[in-house]
Chains A and B, each alone.
Chain A
Amino acid sequence: MKQATFIFGTGFGTGLATVLATAAVAQAQPAPSDPPPSNVPTLPSTTAPATVDDPGPLIGGQVDPAVVPMPRKTATRKRPAIDFPEVLTTPTGWLLPAGVLYSKTAVDTGGGVTSDNRVGLGDVAEFGVATTDQVRERATEADKAERIQPYVTASFRMGVAENRLFAQQPGVTLGFQKSFERNHDGFKTRIAELTLVASKHLGKRVALHAGGALWDASLQSNRPVAGTDPAPPEFTLHGHNYADQIRVFGGFEAKPLDKSEILIDLGWAPEFCYGCADPDKIKLRPELSWGVRYEVARFMHLESGVRVPDIGNFNLLDAQIFGQVTFTSFALRDAVDSLK
C-alpha cells in the first residue's frame, strides 16, 4: 500500500498568513522623516505671513522664495537595540522596548507550526499571545509522545532592564504564561508557568540567561465514569511535591559576527500521559535547542537550528530542524510618539 506522509497541512496556511501580515505591519509604516505624498492636496495657508521681497510673477528660471523647498531632515531616529524576549524556547531577562511589536513564526520537521506575538509595554512589561507545540501527549508510557497543537497561551512579563538600577545589574523579568483550556483526544488539559529569569551581557558579544520556573498543569477526562460522580477526577501537577513543579532553565548567546548569533538553551515542557499511573500522568520533560539567529534586516531576523524534545531520553530520531522568522516593528511606538 502506497504510503504518503505529509506535514504542513492546515497550520501552514495560518503560519504563512501570519508571516505575511506581520511583514506588512513591519513595512507599511512610513519612516517618520518621509515627506507626505505629493499627490495629497494641501490647503493654502491663510495665516502665513506675506513675504516681504515677493518678486511678483515669476519669469524664466526664477524661484519664488516663499516656496523654496526646505532641506529635508536626513537624520534618522535612533532606535534602541532590541534584546529578544526568548533565546530559542526559553524566556530571557530582557523585555521588548515600549511600543515595539514582535512576531515570530516557526515551522519544524516534526510538523509544528507556531506563532508568538508580543508588544512591549512602557519598557517595564510585555504582553503576548502565542501558540506552542511543545506540550506533548502519549496514551501509555510505551507509546511515542506526540505534540498537541495548536496550544494557545497568553503571557505577561514585567521586569527591570539591564543596568537600570545599578551598574552590572542583570536584566530581570518575572513572567506568567497560561494556556487556554485545550480539548484533545477526549481529555481537557491546561498548563501554566511562572518564571523568574536574569540575563546579563558579558561584553558585547556574549550573554547568559538563567532562571527558574514553577510549572502547573491539569488533566481531566471528558468521559464520565460510569457509576460515580459524572465529573471525572482532575489530575494536577500541584498538590504533590514542589520538586515536581520547579525547574531551572538557562541559555547562552554568542555573537561571533556583527549580524549573527549562536544560541543554545535548555528548557522544559509538560507532557501528558493519559494511561499512566496517577503520579506519572503529568511530567516535565527537558528540551535542548541550539541554533543561529541572523539579522537579515533591521526589522527581520531568521533563526534556524535543532530542537531535541525530551533530551533526558535522547533519541536522534526525535531531533527536529526548525526555521523561524521574527519581525519587529516600531510602528506602534512611532504612532504613540506622534500623538505626544
Chain B
Amino acid sequence: MRAVITVAAALLAMARPAAADPVGARVLTAPTAWLPAAGAAVAMLGVDQRGDGAAVIGYGLGGIAEVELGADTDVRGCACDTRPSAIWLGRAAFRVGARQDAWLRGMPAIALGVRASFAARGHEVHEPRASDAYLVASRDLGVVRVHAGVDALSAAVDGRRSPARLRPLAGLEIHPPIYPRSSLIGDLAWTPALAGVPTLGWALGIGVRFQALPWASVELAVRAREHEDLGASTVLLRVNAAWRPSAPRSRRSDR
C-alpha cells in the first residue's frame, strides 16, 4: 500500500499543467475522462475480422459534458448453450466531468458517465439490455497517459436482471518521443455476457494508435475476452475523428 501511495505521489509530482486535454472518449473498451471541446463533434468507426464493430458519434456539450449515440458489439449474448456471439446494441451515453488541472494543479481529468442501451437487432436474444455507470480519472503525464476508474454494470436478458456490480477500469497509453504520432495503447474493462443469466466478463485490449491527421487517428488492436478462447481474440481496426468548431471570440471563454 505504501508503495502504491509513493508511486501515486511521484506521478502527481511529475504532472505538468496540461495545455489542453487529449481527445478520445475511450482507450479501446475502457472509457477515458477526456471530454470534447464545446460544440465539437467526434466520431468513431470500428470493425473487426468477424464483421463486428462499433459506430459512435458524440457532441461536446458546453466543454463540461458529452453526449454519445451509436451502436456497438461489446455485449455478447446467446439464446442457447453455445458460445455467446456479438450483439449489436444501440447505446447512448452521457458524461460530465472536469478537465485536468481544472480545480487544482496536478488533478487528473475526471468524468462520471452513464451508458444505456436503447435498441437491439439482428440476433436471437430476447430483450437484451445493458447499462453501466462509471467514474474514471485520466492524466496526461507526457510520455504516458493513465486512466483508472470503477464501473457499475447491470444487464438483463429475457426479463432476468442482474444487479449492478462494480468492476475496475484501467487504461494506459505510451507515447514514445521518437514516434510523436504513434502510441501504444492497452486497457482492461468488463462487459456483460447475456447467455442465460447475465454475467460479466473482462475484456483485455492492446494495440497501436497512429495520429494520421490532426483531426483523425487510426487504431489497430487485439482484444481478448474472458469467456472466449485466445484463438477467438478479435483484431480491431478503428478510425477516430474529431471536428472542433471555429473559435469565435464569444466561445473562447468556454474552453
* Cross-chain contact B154 with A260 (CB below 8 angstroms): no
Per DSSP, chain B at the interface is strand
Which of A295, A296, A306 is most buried by chain B, counting CB atoms within 10 A of its CB?
Answer: A306
What chain A residues lie within 8 Å of B123 (beta carbons)?
Answer: 2-3
* Cross-chain contact A258 with B122 (CB below 8 angstroms): no
What chain A residues lie within 8 Å of B133 (beta carbons)?
Answer: 316, 319
Which of the residues B39, B93, B154 comes within 8 Å of A317, measured between beta carbons? B154
The B103-160 residues at the A interface (CB cut-off 8 A) are 114-127, 129-133, 152-156
Q: How far is the CA of A3 from the CA of B157 in the complex (A)?
A: 13
The A195-226 residues at the B interface (CB cut-off 8 A) are none
* Cross-chain contact A319 with B116 (CB below 8 angstroms): yes
Interface size on A, residues (CB 8 A): 35
A305 interface residue (CB < 8 Å to B): yes
- Bits for A94-113, please: 1 = Cβ < 8 Å to B, else 0: 00000000000000011100
Q: A258-B254, A296-B39 are in contact. Are A290 and B96 (CB under 8 A)?
A: yes
- Bits for B31-66, please: 1 = Cβ < 8 Å to A, else 0: 000000011000000000000000000010111110
CB distance from A232 to the nearest CB of B (A): 30
CB distance from A251 to the nearest CB of B (A): 16
B243 interface residue (CB < 8 Å to A): no
* Cross-chain contact A304 with B119 (CB below 8 angstroms): no
Q: How far is the CA of A7 from the CA of B116 in the complex (A)?
A: 14
Q: How far is the CA of A260 from the CA of B93 in the complex (A)?
A: 18
* Cross-chain contact A5 with B61 (CB below 8 angstroms): no
Which of B61, B120, B129 is most buried by chain A, counting CB atoms within 10 A of its CB?
Answer: B61
* Cross-chain contact B126 with A3 (CB below 8 angstroms): yes
Q: A2-B124, A109-B92 are in contact. Are A260 and B63 (CB under 8 A)?
A: yes
* Cross-chain contact B118 with A294 (CB below 8 angstroms): no
* Cross-chain contact A292 with B65 (CB below 8 angstroms): yes
Q: How far is the CA of A292 from the CA of B111 in the complex (A)?
A: 13
B-to-A contact residues, CB < 8 Å: 38-39, 59, 61-65, 67, 92-94, 96, 114-127, 129-133, 152-156, 161, 164, 251, 253-254
A-to-B contact residues, CB < 8 Å: 1-7, 109-111, 256-262, 290-296, 302, 304-306, 315-317, 319-321, 323
Q: Please, could you name 26 A-B residue pairs with CB atoms under 8 Å apart, sorted by A?
A: A1-B124, A3-B123, A3-B124, A3-B125, A4-B122, A5-B120, A5-B121, A6-B121, A109-B92, A110-B118, A257-B63, A260-B61, A260-B62, A260-B65, A260-B254, A291-B65, A291-B94, A292-B62, A304-B67, A305-B96, A306-B114, A315-B161, A317-B116, A317-B129, A317-B154, A319-B116
